[in-house]
Amino acid sequence: MATKKSLKILFVSSEVEGLVKTGGLADVAKSLPAALKAMGHDVRIAMPYYRVLAERENVEPQLDTELAVPAQSVTVPYQVMPLQSGDVPVYAINAPQYYDRAELYAESNEAYEDNGERFAFFSAASLDLCEKVEFQPDLIHCNDWHTGLVPFLLRTRYANNSFFANTKSVLTVHNAVFKGVYNYDQFRLIPELIQHRYMQLEMDSANISMLKAGVAFADKINAVSPNYASELLTPLGAHGMDFDFNQRASDLFGIINGCDYNDWNPETDPNIKQHYKANKVSLNRGKKACKRDLQKQVNLPEKDVPVYGMVCRLTEQKGIHYLLPILQQFLVHDVQVAIVGTGDPRLAAQLHELVAANPEKLAFVEAYDNALAHKVEAGSDFFLMPSEFEPCGLNQMYSLAYGTLPIVRAVGGLKDTVIDYDQTPQVATGFMFEAPTPEALLICLQRSLLLYCQQPQEFKRLQQNAMACKFLWQESAERYLEMYLCDELNSVQNDLSSESITD
């Protein structure tokens, strides 16, 4: 990849906020390409053309073609549908047998059986389309296991292809707990995997991890926060992949996500009852109006009590299993808790039971509802993110922007973005606990409640500290650029120092 002013970047992601989203990956896939584009780079996104896109978008294909599998008679027809994510062009890959489904990955909490083949095809087609649409990327930026075979294919199928001779790959790890483990049967489109068994990619003799393929073959890898990058090198924090990450330690970076302040801004948010700023009068009035609105939306009594909000996928990652055992005990206090989430039906059932026992204090909305997520951020006093692990986390950043103090466990990106009140009161922005136990969470909740009830001025000061925090995508995009170019910068520096020696 030559150092030049404007890079050509293909950003490959299975979801993109504004088009289709199930979680934080989508937020990044919207904001990072936009930030890189604003810096003058030619960025394009490749993603699957899911049913929801086909139903909503009225576009004609820009390319009607097929993926040919080397040395096999297999071909898979597909189309490229031209979409946009803001200013960034999107190549949406239309292959109805893979993507014309009710959901993206799973129905009724059951993953589609052929997810390995679906995303192996997505990876292969993302590369196949480049030459056909005449986009020759300097860099292919892959995201999570769905795209893990892209770096592998670049180094195998396309190793001697002159079109990609100067193309490098980067893999961003948003969540290494999802390793994309599938049986060899699912890789009929990637015979390179079968012909030459790459032991380091295997989980066992029958199954390959697509994430391992990305980690082993990408030129550079990054985690979505510096702290998660260091956790990935440890047995405790690497979800069983510490060996793989340690093998690539010198190419592993940690880059914190940004927050999209166009979408998450209490001064302009169209989803909230009243806009507000960080000054005391505006904050008091705005928060109060937004709290009443939230209480109304989730059927809690409209009154002046501290409100604890939570918005997440219902999985153990998000620490619901620390919250459930102590929630009843916490609700003894004069507080309200509002939870919005979908996911594990067992966790949802337990939450519904607790609501039935505490209808005046606990609300649980089992839905994926973006407008309500904004109302929770604006109308709560505290935001719960007691995650077991958290690669970066976005909702704590959104909470900070809305003056809603995050209550987080000291892991991953949460540790990089929230400052605990007891540890550093002067600059604190929230509350943090260490031990992965319900008891430690309860103590942390009680600390937060004490501050709210007994030191309202101090509580306000923390809200203002929080609202002053900025996690700008522009700054994160600069870090990405440094990573994209670091080998060249090193080689330029080496050239310069050898010149000075010979001088």
Ligand X SMILES: Nc1ncnc2c1ncn2[C@@H]1O[C@H](COP(=O)(O)OP(=O)(O)O[C@H]2O[C@H](CO)[C@@H](O)[C@H](O)[C@H]2O)[C@@H](O)[C@H]1O
398 vs 459, which CB is nearer to ligand X? 398
Helix (H, G, I), strand (E, B) or coil at 44: strand
21 in a known ligand binding site: yes
Q: Which residues pair with 455 in a beta bridge?
A: none
Q: Of 224 and 449, which has the nearer Cβ to ligand X? A: 224
Tokens linked to 267: 């001064």
Q: Which is nearer to ligand X, 129 or 373 (CB)?
A: 373
Contact flag: residue 394 with ligand X (CB under 6 A) = yes
Q: Which is nearer to ligand X, 225 or 295 (CB)?
A: 225
Among the residue ranges 129-137, 150-158, 339-347, 487-495, the one whose residues contact ligand X (CB under 6 A): 339-347
Window of 24-32, 47-55, 185-193, 476-484 that interacts with ligand X by CB under 6 A: 24-32
Task: Rank residues 130 and 148 by Cβ distance to ligand X and give the closer one.
Answer: 148
Quick one: which of 129, 142, 305, 312 contacts ligand X (CB under 6 A)?
312
Residue 366's Cβ-count burial label (10 Å; 0-12, 13-18, 19+) is middle
DSSP annotation of 173:
E
User: Could you tell me how many residues of this chain bind ligand X (CB under 6 A)?
Assistant: 26
Residues in 230-259 that interact with ligand X by CB under 6 A? 257
Query: Can you list the alpha helix ranges (DSSP code H) found in 342-472?
Result: 345-357, 370-379, 395-401, 412-417, 438-454, 456-468
- Among 125, 127, 224, 252, which residue interacts with ligand X (rule: CB under 6 A)? 224
Binding of ligand X by 175 (CB under 6 A): yes
Torsions phi, psi of 92, nearest 5? -95, 125
Pairing of strands 382-385, 362-365: unpaired
CA distances from 419 to 146, 183, 413, 448 (A): 33, 43, 12, 13
Give yes or no for residue 393 binding ligand X (CB under 6 A): yes
Output the six-digit token pair for 371: 């407008």
Residue 269, interface with ligand X (CB under 6 A)? no
If one asks whether residue 342 binds ligand X (CB under 6 A), the answer comes out as: yes
150 contacts ligand X (rule: CB under 6 A) = no
Q: Are 237 and 223 in contact (CB under 8 A)?
A: no
- C-alpha closest to that of 481 among 145, 45, 170: 170
> Which C-beta is closer to ligand X: that of 130 or that of 300?
300
| By CB under 6 A, residue 395 contacts ligand X | yes
Question: Stretches 56-64, 190-198, 280-288, 363-371: which one binds ligand X (CB under 6 A)?
Answer: 363-371
| Amino acid type, 120 | A
- Out of 25, 88, 149, 337, the residue judged to bind ligand X by CB under 6 A: 25
Nearest to 17 by CA among 473, 501, 494, 499: 473
- Residues near ligand X (CB under 6 A): 23-25, 27-28, 174-175, 224, 257, 311-313, 340-342, 368-370, 373, 390-395, 413
